Amino acid sequence: MKPLSIALTMIVTLAAHAEDAQQIERGRYLVDLLSCAACHTDGQLLSEPRADRYLAGSSIGIAYSNHDKPGVVFPANLTPDPDTGLGRWSAAEITKNIQYGIDRHGRQQLPIMPWPGYAHMQQEDAEAITAYLMSLPPVKHAVPTNVAPNTPSSAPYVRYGVYVFFPKTAIEGETITTP
């Protein structure tokens, strides 16, 4: 290779690296802004985040039904660990999941994962989030399997955000507008 083409190749490679670094930095910013860690970092649902499991999945679940024994879902491990995280997902599969809540097996995920809001995101923002997730150190941490309604959960869980409770007096005395 001639010196000039070597120099050009180096410049192009350096520029590509700078672009990657910028995209990852944008992804980190968006992940902070959108509070992905609020659910996906172990312990965070109890306000006791584990730094060694940052975005590596929650052992504490989130209840999604009103049953005595509610259905429970566990925010996934988002680090690139191949066995317990997103290591075997392609970038396109991760981006699609963030935007549409459809996982790599075609399963529609629960809207507790706030994909209905994320669907309004620009494509390049979703791709930047994916680039950032793929740049994280892989952490091996398997979250518990989701629990179906009316089945006892052996893992702890929080109940939040998914219930509409109409007090009896309000139902009898007033007109209630439901969303």
Tokens encoding 176: 């209630």
* 95 vs 170 by CB, closer to ligand HEC: 95
CB of 114 to ligand HEC, least distance (A): 5
Tokens encoding 77: 């491990």
* 133 vs 169 by CB, closer to ligand HEC: 133
CB of 179 to ligand HEC, least distance (A): 18
**Region of 146 on the Ramachandran plot (φ > 0 left; ψ -120 to 50 alpha; else beta):** beta
Rounded CA-CA distance 157/87 in Å is 26
Tokens encoding 102: 């459809």
Binding site for ligand HEC (CB under 6 A): 31, 34-36, 38-40, 62, 73, 75-76, 78, 94, 97-98, 103, 109-110, 112-114, 129, 146
CA dihedral 126, 131, 134, 136 (to 10 degrees): -110
Tokens encoding 64: 């999604």
> Which of 124, 100, 96, 103 lies closest to 114, judged by CA?
100
* 9 vs 66 by CB, closer to ligand HEC: 66
Q: Give the Å distances, CA to CA, from 67 to 33, 46, 154, 171.
A: 33, 22, 16, 21
CB of 116 to ligand HEC, least distance (A): 12
Element (H, E) at 91: helix 91-100
* 13 vs 151 by CB, closer to ligand HEC: 151
CB of 73 to ligand HEC, least distance (A): 4
* 25 vs 103 by CB, closer to ligand HEC: 103
CB of 97 to ligand HEC, least distance (A): 4
